[in-house]
Structure 1
Amino acid sequence: MQDPEIPGASIVFDRVEKTFEKPGGAPFRALEQASLTVEPGAITGVIGRSGAGKSTLLRMVNGLETPSAGRVIVDGRDVGAARGSALREIRRSVGMIFQHFNLLSSRSVYGNVALPLEIDGTPAGEIRTRVNDLLARVGLEGLRDRYPAELSGGQKQRVGIARALATRPRVLLSDEATSALDPETTQTVLRLLAEINRDLGLTILLITHEMTVVRDIATHMAVIDAGRIVEAGPTYDLFTRPQHETTRSFLSGITGVTLPSFIAGRLVPARPAGPAQEVLRITFAGPHATEPMLARLTAELGIGVNILAGAIEEIGPHPFGKLLVSIDAARGDEARAYLQRHQLLAEVLGYVG
């Protein structure tokens, strides 16, 4: 039996601040004027280094942390101001999966998934139907009587995901849910989260320090640095045209393309006198990303292009690539203008005489 569609809820972080008091020491400010809007039904990745404040931000969505200033709004409800039954209702609508699974070793797979429903007072017959449906959804129906010690890391995380879905939440939080897994298992878990988002319409907010996780699953992303959201938007936009240095630093590991040493060692910043080659970094994004623009450049303008290095990525359904090329420096302005007219970014890296 399929779950009914659960419309995802919006999440708004409105100038959120969080300061932790330290006995005998100076207060630590984990978040500072952090603002971010998470669209309903989106998969939004928040990426930052260790200590940047991303876990604190995530824990505010279900009231595990409260802001020192500012507001966190989930589906129109102020989480920090909620108390009693109102806070319990918000928490019921927010599921969470953890880096280290947080399963009860004394309970079977079935028992772990059933736990939130038991706490909620759900009738036994309804629990049985719900848990069986969830185990089928995450591909663990044959392991219902196993215990966590008998499971692989990927299977434990699937149990965690099923448990997080038990109360039919509208928001799913992922706290570094794949960082303890090997690359192949990570991809399996990410595909499962994408399927859940597609089938149920949940809003998924995940935190990670791995840019590849954001690339592979997130429709939107935010970059947090020293407690501030420094850049946010659609994932493709931030990958192809990052504005902040922190974003560019994260991207360098997966979209960086380096010059061959025999070129890099001769590169100079200013165009030398006489014949020279201009070295360009061309970013392929937008509507012309898959078109043979360099071949067209040569055919239409007669400008030869020497490809030095390159890499192609796929961000969601969109292609994105970078090429390092060299062209006749005397025709550099003409070539760059042609590429920019076709919405390709061309940057001069230097010159080789």
Structure 2
Amino acid sequence: MQRDSTTGAAIAFEGVGKSFTSKGRTVTALEGVDLAVAPGAITGIIGRSGAGKSTLLRMVNGLERPSAGRVTVGGRDVGTARGATLREIRRDVGMIFQHFNLLSSRTVLGNVALPLEIAGVPAAETARRAKDLVERVGLETLADRYPAELSGGQKQRVGIARALATGPKVLLSDEATSALDPETTQTVLRLLADINRDLGLTILMITHEMAVLRDIASHVAVIEGGRIVEEGATYDIFTRPAHPTTRSFLAGVTGVTLPQFIAARMQLDPPAGPSREVIRITFLGANATDPLLAEMSAALGLEVNILAGAIEEIGAQPFGNLLISVAAERGPEARHYLDTRGQRTEVLGYVG
């Protein structure tokens, strides 16, 4: 796909603002948004309802136009495009929706063929391409079924196939998995990852669920109150969140909870008498799977109590959280040992 000549991005938001006026009242939906979406990448924009993410997404295909700044797709300014230029941009931008938006009167094959028919593609070519796309999303045995006969995941697969019909270079995903159960969500996400890999499509997806982005997004931007408050590589955002909004989104995804019987006894300051320091260790990078606790215990002669923990992959890189306790007077020594080996530590409190 052609890149923006100044940013090198497939999609670029440059100082984008958007305001709506209703009944004499002006509401600012977006303000000063700068974001570059790399060609061939899967980029996720996460935010709460009303944060502005849907408005931002709709600017990519011209359904909304910026009040300030500009949005470019392949170097073409979407906000100023009209007529044939806008239609050309829209052919390069496919979109999948949260609620599928399928025509109930058309079969799976008929829904996929619709964009081609509208574009005036000859009937024989339309039939061939629609059939190929239905097979790509694994629905060839259901090609003659109607939407009412399909599950939610199957409907979303039809929506994905339809979005690919015109051969787009960019695919937009508008909360495409939020109406699906967790297992079906993973199936749809794997399909999107396969499409990204096989076709080299640039995918821009919006969601309010961090777990949706964990496995397939290469880049994440966090939007709050119409502004991008944090962005970066997915692994960096998940393992080193800087903004409170990001940390709140991640709390249920990468957080490890203390057992209640320990949490109930925790104090911010060391109590009188013998006590133990409770430490959160964030394991990062190449050392994340090393036996660091065993090595530390042996090197320092330190008794370590493991309270809770989990390790997972983010973008094929290991990441883990572990909660431990050590004798309070040995806490600084333990943290220094781990810090010098590239792990992040945080004192959560003390228990007597």
Amino-acid identity (%): 72
**Are the aligned partners of 1:7 and 1:41 in contact in 2 as well (CA < 8 Å)?**
no
Provide Cα deviations, 1:276-316, integer angstroms capped at 9, x if missing partner. 21110001111111111111111222222111111223212
Deviation at 1:272, TM superposition (A): 4.2
Partner of 1:319: 318
Give the residue type in structure 2 aligned to 1:222: A
CA contact (8 A) 1:7 1:202 kept: no
Which residue does 2:14 correspond to in 1?
14
Distance in 1 of aligned mates of 2:160 and 2:264: 51
What number of residue pairs does the alignment pair up?
A: 347
Q: Show the counterpart of 2:29.
A: 30
Which residue does 1:3 correspond to in 2? none
Q: CA offsets per residue over residues 158-201 of structure 1, 9 Å max, x none?
A: 11100100111110000011111111111111111010011111
**Partner-residue secondary structure (3-state), 2:215:** helix
Worse-superposed segment, 112-121 or 94-103: 112-121
Deviation of 1:7 (Å): 8.4
Partner residue in 2 for 1:329: 328
- TM-score w.r.t. structure 1 length? 0.95
Q: How far does residue 212 in structure 1 lie from its aligned partner after superposition?
A: 1.2
Residue 267 of structure 1 pairs with residue 266 of structure 2? yes
Counterpart of 2:224, as a letter, is D
Deviates more, 1:265-274 or 1:315-324: 265-274
Quick check: 246-255 or 304-313, which moved more? 304-313
Give the equivalent residue in structure 1 for 2:210. 211
Alignment partner, residue 55 of structure 1: 54
1:197 paired to 2:208 = no
* 1:156 alignment partner in structure 2: 155
Letter in 1 for 2:158: V
Q: Which amino acid aligns with 2:10?
A: S
Amino acid paired to 1:61: V
Structure 1 residues 157 and 7 mapped into 2: Cα distance closer, same or farther (>3 Å)? farther
SS in 1 for 2:288: coil
The farther-off stretch of 258-267 and 245-254 is 258-267
Q: For 2:271 and 2:114, how far apart are their aligned partners in 1?
A: 72
Residue 252 of structure 1: aligned partner: 251
Runs of 4+ aligned structure 1 residues displaced above 4 Å come to: 6-9
Tell whether the 8 Å contact from 1:42 to 1:204 is kept in structure 2 after alignment. Answer: yes
Partner Cα separation in structure 2 for residue 94 and residue 204 of structure 1:
10
How big is the alpha-carbon RMSD for the aligned residues of Structure 1 and Structure 2?
Answer: 1.5
CA separation in 2, counterparts of 1:101 and 1:262? 46
Q: Map Cα deviations across residues 69-119 of structure 1 (whole Å, 9 max, x no partner).
A: 011111111110111111111100000000111111121111111111111
Q: Matched residue of 2:31: which SS?
A: strand
Q: Report 1:231-242 matches (<5 A).
A: 231-242=230-241
The unaligned stretches of length 5 or more in structure 2 are 4-8
Unaligned runs of at least 5 residues, structure 1: 1-5
